[in-house]
Amino acid sequence: MKILGIDTSTKFLCLSVYDDGKIYEYNIELEKKHSKLLLLAVKKVIEALNWDIADIDYFACGVGPGSFTGVRIGITAIKGLSYCLEKPVLGISTLDILAGNALREGIIVPAIDAKRSLIYCGIYRNSNGILKRLSPYMLLPKEEFLKKVKPNSAILGDAITLYKEEFLKGIKGVTILDKDYWYPQGRNIIHFALQLIKEKKFSNAFNLKPIYLYPKECQIKQFK
C-alpha cells in the first residue's frame, strides 16, 4: 500500500509518503511559497522513490484550521490528484497532526496563531501512546484559551511565539514544548491516515472539505 500525505496550513510544507510499512517525510519552511513549490516537491519525492503517481493508493491532506490560503492550496492539490486518478482521499485536521508531535503522557494542547488575537486549538489526552481528542476544534481569544486549558497541560504550536508569558503566568504547571514541536510533521499525517484507512473512513475529491473556524462573514464570499 502506498500513501501520499501533505499539509500546507502553516508556513511549513509537510510532505510524507508510506510504502508498505516504511514512512518517509519532507518538512521544509516555505513561508508563502506553497503554491509555487508544492507540486514540484511532490514530483521530486515520487521520482526519488521510483514511483509512478498512479501507484499511490490513498491521498491524505491536512484540512486546517490554519492559514486560509495555505489550507486551500493543499486541499486543491489533493482534490486534483484524487479526482484524476480516481483514488480515495483522507482529510485530517491540522490540530490532530500537530498534537501527534507530543510524545509525553497527559493533556496536550496544540495552539496555532489564528491572527486577530485569536488561537486555533484543541484539547487532547495522550495515554499509553494513544491520542484522544477531548474537545471540539476551537477558535478562542487568549483569555478564553487560558480558562479552557487545565493545569499541568503541555502546549505546542506557533501561538507560543505571541503568548508564551501569558501561558506561563495564567496556567498552573503548564509545560511549553520546544520550537521543534510547533509545526506539523509529515510522519503524523501517515499515522492518522493509516488509522482512518483501518476504520474505512476515507472520502473522495468531492467530499473533502477544509476546517474553517472563523465565522462565515470573515470568509471569502462568492458574488454573482
Residue 224, pLDDT score: 44
CATH number of 102-181: 3.30.420.40
Q: Where are the domains of the chain?
A: 2-94+184-218, 102-181
Report in angstroms the alpha-carbon separations of 128 from 47, 72, 104, 124, 131.
37, 34, 9, 13, 8
Q: Quick: pLDDT tens for 174-224.
A: 999 999 999 999 999 999 999 999 999 989 999 999 999 998 645 555 444
| Chain-centre distance for alpha carbon 49 | 24
Please state, in angstroms and rounded to a whole number, the distance separating the CA atoms of residues 12 and 16: 13
**Mapping DSSP to helix (H, G, I), strand (E, B) and coil, where does residue 5 land?**
strand
Task: Please say whether the beta carbons of 151 and 174 come within 8 A.
Answer: yes
pLDDT higher than 60, residue 32? yes
pTM for the full predicted model: 0.93
Residue 223, pLDDT score: 40
Q: Quick: pLDDT tens for 142-178.
A: 999 999 999 999 999 999 999 999 999 999 999 999 9
Q: Quick: pLDDT tens for 101-158.
A: 998 999 999 999 999 999 999 999 999 989 999 999 999 999 999 999 999 999 999 9
Arithmetic mean of pLDDT, 27-48:
89
Where are the extended beta strands (E) located within 57-188? 58-62, 89-92, 106-113, 118-121, 124-127, 130-133, 138-141, 154-156, 175-176
Residue 120, pLDDT score: 98
Cα-flanking dihedrals φ and ψ of residue 141, to 5°?
-65, 160
Cα-flanking dihedrals φ and ψ of residue 66, to 5°?
170, -150
Please state, in angstroms and rounded to a whole number, the distance separating the CA atoms of residues 133 and 211: 16
Q: Quick: pLDDT tens for 38-80.
A: 999 999 999 999 999 999 999 999 999 999 999 999 999 999 9
Residue 219, pLDDT score: 54
Q: Output the DSSP codes for 41-81.
A: HHHHHHHHTT--GGG--EEEEE--SS-HHHHHHHHHHHHHH
CATH number of 2-94+184-218: 3.30.420.40
Please state, in angstroms and rounded to a whole number, the distance separating the CA atoms of residues 176 and 222: 41
pLDDT higher than 50, residue 29? yes
Strand partners of residue 133: 124
Largest CA distance in the chain: 53
